[in-house]
Amino acid sequence: MMPAAAQPWVVAVIDDEPGIHDVTRLVLRRLKFDGRPIECVFASSAAQGRELFASRPDIAVALIDVVMENDRAGLELVEHVRHTAGNMLTRIILRTGQPGMAPEREVVTHFEIDDYRDKSELTADRLQTAVVTALRSFKTLQALDRNVRALTHISEVGPKLFEAPDLRAFARAALQALTTVGAGGLSSEPSGFFVAATADSEGQVPDLDVLATVGPAWEGPQADAAGRAERLSRRVAAIRQSLQHGEVRAWPDGLGLRLRTSPQQDLVGWMDAAVPGSLPRVAGSGPGSDEAEVPLLLRLLVGRLVDTFETRQAVTQRLEAASRDREMRARSRFLTRVGHELRTPLNAMLGFAQLMIDDEDAADAALRGLRLRHITSAGRHLQALIDDVMDLSRLEGGELQLQLSPVPVADVAEDVRVLTEGLALARGVDVRLRLADSLYVQADATRLRQVMLNLVSNAIKYNREGGTVTVRARPDEPARGQVVLEVSDTGAGMTAEQLQQLFQPFNRLGAERTAVEGTGVGLAIVKALTERMGGEVEVDSRVGQGTTFKVRLLRPLVQDLPPGPPPRGAQAVSATVADAQALPAKAATSPHRVLYIEDNTVNALILSEWFRRRPAYILEVAEDGRTGLARAAQWQPALILLDMQLPDLDGLEVLHALHVDPVTQTIPVVGLSAQTLGPEVDPRDRERLSDYLLKPLDFDELERVLVRILGVAPGV
């Protein structure tokens, strides 16, 4: 490719006289302007002239005859060039041998030309003078046009760079901007790079993350990767050593700049020059200096890059600070609410316990019993609160794993009805099930039961005395692929303002000022669980009339459904209750041996006291896993209660050891823990557990488990 300094100026000669072509070529053949020669291109008519302009957009000067195909052909060509083609750069000199047919004043006044000459007066010297004058004007206008376009581009760079989503996108956009504007002093075939350079522990050789590259020098074949990496590393090290933040400098072989992104990282950019030494030396830099002046347009562009980069950093820092502030305020509000909810039951527990300690004579058994019931109630409220907070935390952290499968709606609804039966009786509320037959939803059975239990419990607690709770399930008619589960109550309903705050954790919407117990977390869990199961929750509430919650879940595919109709009635929880109630009361000929493997002394003391009051059982405690295994093999208990967090062995390790030992492998094992079994637990270990109870233990639930496994009726 010919260097820009050697490219000729293009002069178009448009005339229908061949002799004019020859004379013009002869006169201009040795003419040079600004060190560049003249190249003449020719056309013999206005029509050919239009084609010539279309094919040669680099025409600097046009010598156009007026009279060609017709008396005004040249003038019509001028109109085409200026207005139709929009070419305002080419300098146009009109030449005519018949000045009377196109008077000079009229032509100059009405047509956008730069000169008007009579052919008879246009000597060789005058022609050369006219062409040089036109070329000087063209050069000036061309530079102005290039600068205007470059400035326009620079003005447009800022918003594009500001909107770049990350540092890599910013670097690509900056590199593209430099290649567009830098053609005046840089290579016409752009070549350069942007990297993120991070200093090592000693701040010496940088670790380079190449963000954007252009040109064969930096995007060469893979075989040259090692050499290219070395050149890049040397160049980046030189730029970082010589430049401060926001500085730009040109060397004879290119342009470098450095932006500080952090104390240890810089954004370093480089653009190669067309040829070594093509950028002008800095005035007064002296011979031997390797620095060159940065052209004005490039300085403006780099200034825009720096300004935009610093603005991005400032805005990002403000946004991050605002985000941290919002998170801290939200966390503070969350902890304030949690603290309030935790202190309320703890205050009751500690207060009544201290009263009982101070009450030395303890003469009033009824008062003592009332205080104990208050302590128990507060403890259960505290347990529910902790369970809800843990569930909400696992949901928000993505730690709660769900196992989606077809779940029969009737079973879940019946389980929930049984579990809330006592609460409904106490409140005088009638719970009704209105379920379509053979309905399944795609859900996690345990978590769907939790969702429905929360909704039904709330519908009972916040209902009027003697009110009704209706649980419905039906296919969603507009979208047949879904099932709608509805829980409706006849309570006080909610205002529009309350509905806006409905799913905020620990926001009980004013119910904290009533006697109704609650944590304020249940509905947040309902929403999060439903969405995790691919569904959604809707609420319709009217003040004075009641509230309806709608849970929409997907229907499972037909091929995934189990054969036959879904069973009606309790499937899990209520089945346990029914089994316990159906067992015949039988007296034990000898106490049932129960081994409790537990390292916590207080937990062991509580259960020892509970079993001491039940002569149908005899309890022995082992304080760690290995002692428990030895005692189980020696004592052969009827049941093992196994804590899942032991000091020497994991609970699952103890379970596995019990299973592989022929002496103990048939002994039923009930797991006890403060945490639910995670999805990572082997399904075979789940099957080896006869049941799994959460701490703190609910003694009623423990007794139901003992009845189911050992067959001893309560109270025996």
For residues 1 and 221, the model is more confident at 221
Query: What is the residue-wise DSSP string for 322-379?
Result: HHHHHHHHHHHHHHHHHHHHHHHHHHHHHHHHHHHHH-SS---HHHHHHHHHHHHHHH
In a domain, residue 315? The reply is: no
**Domain assignment of residue 308, yes or no:** no
Interstrand relation of 482-489 and 440-443 (parallel, antiparallel or unpaired):
unpaired
179 shares a domain with 126: no
d(CA 489, CA 510): 18
Task: Work out the number of other CB atoms within 10 angstroms of the CB of residue 118.
Answer: 12
Q: Provide the pLDDT for residue 510.
A: 61
Q: Tell me the CATH number at 208.
A: 3.30.450
Average pLDDT estimate for 540-548: 91
Residues 6+ apart with CB under 8 A from 210: 193, 194, 195, 232
Q: Give the C-alpha separation, 3 to 245, whole Å.
A: 34
Residue 640's closest CA among 653, 626, 622? Answer: 622
Query: What is residue 289's predicted lDDT score, i.e. its pLDDT?
Result: 43
pLDDT digits (tens, 9 = 90+) for 251-308: 777 888 888 887 778 888 888 876 444 444 433 333 344 555 666 666 777 777 777 7
Distance CA 20, CA 540 (A): 92
Whichever domain contains 116, its CATH number is 3.40.50.2300
Do 178 and 139 lie in a common domain? no
What DSSP string runs through 392-457?
HHHHHTT------EEEEHHHHHHHHHHHTHHHHHHHT-EEEEEE-TT-EEEE-HHHHHHHHHHHHH
Q: Is the pLDDT of residue 162 over 80?
A: no
pLDDT, average across residues 388-406: 74
Q: What is the mean pLDDT of residues 653-657?
A: 92
18 and 126 together in one domain: yes
Q: Is 293 helix (H, G, I), strand (E, B) or coil?
A: coil
Is residue 69 located within the same domain as residue 218?
Answer: no
Q: Are 592 and 651 members of one domain?
A: yes
Domain boundary among 532, 561, 576: 576
pLDDT number for residue 288:
40
- Which run of H or of E encompasses 684? helix 683-688
Q: For residue 437, what are the domain limits?
A: 402-576
Total domains in the fold of the chain: 5
The neighbour count for residue 336, using CB atoms within 10 Å, is 11
Helices (H) and strands (E) in the chain, counts: 20, 23
665-686: pLDDT as tens digits:
999 999 988 777 666 677 788 8
For residues 499 and 490, give the distance between their C-alpha atoms in angstroms, rounded to a whole number. 17
Tell me how many degrees the CA angle 699-701-702 measures, rounded to the nearest 5.
60
Q: What is the 3-state secondary structure (H, E, C) of 207-232?
A: EEEEEEEECCCCCCCHHHHHHHHHHH
Highest mean pLDDT, choosing among 197-211, 314-328, 389-403, 422-436? 422-436
Question: Between residues 660 and 314, which one has the greater pLDDT?
Answer: 660
Residue 599 φ/ψ, nearest 5 degrees: -95, -15
Note the residue count of the chain: 716
Distance CA 678, CA 676 (A): 6
| Cα–Cα distance measured from residue 123 to residue 127, given in angstroms and rounded to the nearest whole number | 6
Q: What percent of the chain is predicted at pLDDT more than 70? A: 73
Residues 470 and 390 in one domain: no
Rounded distance, CA 508 to CA 523, Å?
10
Asked whether the beta carbons of 588 and 712 are under 8 A apart, the reply is: yes
User: Cα angle vertex 108, ends 104, 112, to 5°?
Assistant: 145
* Same-domain pairing of 193 and 333: no
**How many Å apart are CA 85 and CA 558, to the nearest integer?**
68
Kindly state whether residue 314 falls inside one of the protein's structural domains.
no
Residue 195 DSSP label:
E
User: Looking up tokens 């059975």, which residue turns up?
Assistant: 445
Domain-embedded: residue 648? yes
Give domain status of residue 291, yes or no: no
Query: Which range has the top average pLDDT, 37-51, 111-125, 583-597?
Result: 37-51
Residue 301 included in any domain: no
Look at residue 353 in the predicted model and tell me its pLDDT. Answer: 66
96 and 66 in contact (C-beta within 8 Å)? yes
Closest CA relative to residue 460, chosen from 503, 501, 427, 504: 427
The answer to whether residue 26 is domain-embedded is: yes
Q: Please list, in sequence order, all residues whose beta carbon lies within 8 angstroms of the beta carbon of residue 213, skipping any fewer than 6 positions away.
A: 175, 192, 193, 194, 219
Average pLDDT, the chain: 79
Identify whether residues 591 and 572 lie together within a single domain.
no
Distance in angstroms (rounded) separating the CA atoms of residues 304 and 148? 16
Q: Is the pLDDT of residue 4 over 50?
A: no
Say yes or no: 240 and 104 in one domain: no
- Last residue within a domain, chosen from 226, 256, 281: 281
Whether the predicted pLDDT of 361 surpasses 50: yes
Q: φ, ψ for residue 189 (rounded to 5)?
A: -110, 95
566 and 621 in a single domain? The answer is no
Q: Among 117, 147, 177, identify where a domain stops.
A: 147
Please check whether residue 94 lies inside any domain of the structure: yes
Secondary structure (3-state) at 535:
coil
* Domain match, 339 and 366 both: yes
Query: Which strands make up the sheet holding 592-597, listed edge to edge?
Result: 617-622, 592-597, 639-643, 669-673, 691-694
What type of residue sits at position 480?
Answer: R
pLDDT of 488 over the 90 cut: yes
- Domain check: are 14 and 138 in the same one? yes
CA distances 714 to 80, 570, 579, 593, 597, Å, are 107, 21, 13, 16, 23
Q: Using a CB cutoff of 8 Å and minimum separation of 24, what contacts does 620-627 make?
A: 620/593, 620/594, 620/595, 620/596, 621/595, 621/596, 621/597, 622/595, 622/596, 622/597, 622/598, 623/598, 623/599, 624/597, 624/599, 624/648, 624/649, 625/597, 625/649, 625/650, 625/651, 625/653, 625/654, 627/597
User: pLDDT tens digit string along 590-644?
Assistant: 789 999 999 888 778 888 888 888 888 999 999 999 999 999 999 999 999 999 8
Q: What share of the chain is helix, strand, coil (3-state, %, to 5)?
A: 45, 20, 30
Higher-scoring residue by pLDDT: 419, 641: 641
Question: Which amino acid appears at position 145 of this protein?
Answer: D
Q: How do 265-272 and 254-262 pair as beta strands?
A: antiparallel
Which one of 209-213, 325-329, 658-662 scores highest in mean pLDDT?
Answer: 658-662
Residues forming beta bridges with residue 486, ordered by sequence position: 472, 550
CB count within 10 Å of CB 658 equals 22
3-class SS at 54? Answer: helix
∠ CA 604-610-615 to the nearest 5 degrees?
120
76 vs 402: CA distance, rounded Å = 80
